[in-house]
Amino acid sequence: MRLTGKIICFLFLFILIYPLYAETDEEPLVGEETLPGEEILPGTETSLAEVTQEEDALFFEAPPLIFEVPVYEIRSFDAIFPSFTQRQRIQVMSSAGLRHSFSKDESPVIFPNPEMGINLLGSILNKNPSHLIEALVVVPYRERELDLLDIYNALGRIQEIKNYATIFNGNDFYVFTESTRIESARNRRAISDPLPAVTLPFSETMYLRLKEVNLGNLFLRGDVSISMYGITYSMTNFTDVRYFLIPIVGTERFITMLYLEPVKEGILIYSMSGFYIPGFIADRVNLTPNINRRIEIFIKWITAGLRIQESIAVR
């Protein structure tokens, strides 16, 4: 009796629940047989291909991403400095290059084409200098054309600066007895130059100590910035420049800016230096020839570094 009662209860529940499942609005799955008695109207059949097309419509294929690398033609010297005379051009192509000293009340003689985007003079004048020196030289290619990475690595050999001399009274005169990087403006511990880079940074700041025969230690901040066509390298003193313990150039009052660019004729080196010294010191100490000799050493140092880059590439 107990078993019969359970069977009757189960049948009763089944009769009540089954219509709820049978009357749901769920559509049969694709490929599922229709229930007996159901009729499919003509033209309403849904094939597997149609369902697949409907599913594909929910997705889209993204167009491939295309990155355009800017391609530019190497510029020529005449395009950057179009107003040079033939005599000036010959000077620029020589190892000594063209140099010109002038005061703040005078005008420079080296004018790059304003459309070329090179403006060292504006940055120098922001320091309000009393004296300025400009220089320009083109280092011709020998083994191959050099690029920005070659220039950057040539500028990285700070320890080599001391090895280059200027001519004074017919003899080699080594202005710098030491040249090294230091960790920072506060920590002036000497550190070695890094290995040659394989990629270019967007910018870089380094700190240098150059020991000069007359002025002692010069502490400089070097800032490197990379543009599409060239590299700008500026050096500014972050401490006073002293002569026999007397400060003659105040902090941040000396700046040398170098702009280097590979052109068709070679590596263009355009330099502008500015420094401020009070009038009573300028009347007694003529720093212009001294600064001029140091610029000559910097140009020799860079030229030698470029030749090293050529030799590395040939091996």
Long-range contacts of 170-176 (CB under 8 A, 24+ apart): 173/293, 174/213, 175/212, 175/213, 175/293, 175/294, 175/297, 176/210, 176/211, 176/212, 176/213, 176/297
Q: How many CA atoms lie within 13 A of 139 on its CB side?
A: 25
Q: Do the domain assignments include residue 274?
A: yes
DSSP 69: P
Q: Do the domain assignments include residue 56?
A: no
Q: What phi, psi does 225 have (nearest 5°)?
A: -135, 140
Give Cβ neighbours of residue 82 (< 8 Å, ≥ 6 apart): 113
**Does residue 220 surpass a pLDDT of 50?**
yes
**Does residue 212 surpass a pLDDT of 70?**
yes
pLDDT of residue 71: 54
**Does residue 21 surpass a pLDDT of 80?**
no
Q: Do the domain assignments include residue 301?
A: yes
* 100, 134 Cβ separation under 8 angstroms: yes
pLDDT of residue 313: 61
pLDDT of residue 64: 53
Q: What phi, psi does 103 have (nearest 5°)?
A: -95, 175
Mean pLDDT value of segment 72-76: 88
Residue with tokens 């697949």, as numbered in its chain: 52
pLDDT digit string, tens, across residues 35-67:
444 444 455 454 444 544 544 544 445 555 443
Compute the distance between CA of residue 241 and CA of residue 252 in angstroms, rounded to an integer.
10
User: Residue 77's Cα: distance from chain center in Å?
Assistant: 22
The alpha carbons of the chain give a radius of gyration, in whole angstroms, of 38
Q: Do the domain assignments include residue 294?
A: yes
Please report, in angstroms and rounded to a whole number, the separation of the first and last CA atoms in the chain.
105
Q: Do the domain assignments include residue 31?
A: no
pLDDT digit string, tens, across residues 250-291:
999 999 999 999 999 999 999 999 998 887 777 777 778 888
For residue 97, the enclosing domain spans 77-314
Instruction: Give me the CATH number covering residue 127.
Output: 3.30.530.20
**Does residue 106 surpass a pLDDT of 60?**
yes
Of residues 45 and 207, more confidence is placed in 207
Could you tell me which residues are beta bridge partners of residue 262? Answer: 267
Helix (H), strand (E) at residue 134: strand 131-140
CA dihedral 260, 262, 265, 266 (to 10 degrees): 70
Kindly state the percentage of the chain with pLDDT values over 70.
76
pLDDT of residue 29: 42
Q: Specify the pairing of strand 231-237 against strand 241-243.
A: unpaired
**Low-confidence winner among 151-155, 193-197, 240-244, 301-305 (lowest mean pLDDT):** 240-244
Q: Do the domain assignments include residue 100?
A: yes
Of residues 228 and 70, more confidence is placed in 228
Compute the distance between CA of residue 282 and CA of residue 286 in angstroms, rounded to an integer.
6
Total domains in the fold of the chain: 1
Mapping DSSP to helix (H, G, I), strand (E, B) and coil, where does residue 245 land?
Answer: coil
Q: Do the domain assignments include residue 285?
A: yes
Mean pLDDT value of segment 236-243: 90
pLDDT of residue 242: 85
pLDDT of residue 272: 95
Q: Do the domain assignments include residue 134?
A: yes
Residue in 86, 71, 72, 89 with CA at minimum distance from that of residue 265: 89
pLDDT of residue 162: 96
What does the mean pLDDT of the chain come to? Answer: 82
Strands (E), 227-304: 231-237, 241-243, 246-249, 254-263, 266-275
Residue with tokens 């020799």, as numbered in its chain: 300
* 163, 302 Cβ separation under 8 angstroms: no
Mean pLDDT value of segment 103-122: 92
* 162, 212 Cβ separation under 8 angstroms: no
Mapping DSSP to helix (H, G, I), strand (E, B) and coil, where does residue 83 land?
Answer: coil
pLDDT of residue 247: 83
The reported pTM is 0.76
Kindly state the percentage of the chain with pLDDT values over 90.
60
Residue in 180, 197, 200 with CA at minimum distance from that of residue 189: 180
Of residues 204 and 20, more confidence is placed in 204
**Low-confidence winner among 67-76, 147-156, 226-235, 238-247 (lowest mean pLDDT):** 67-76
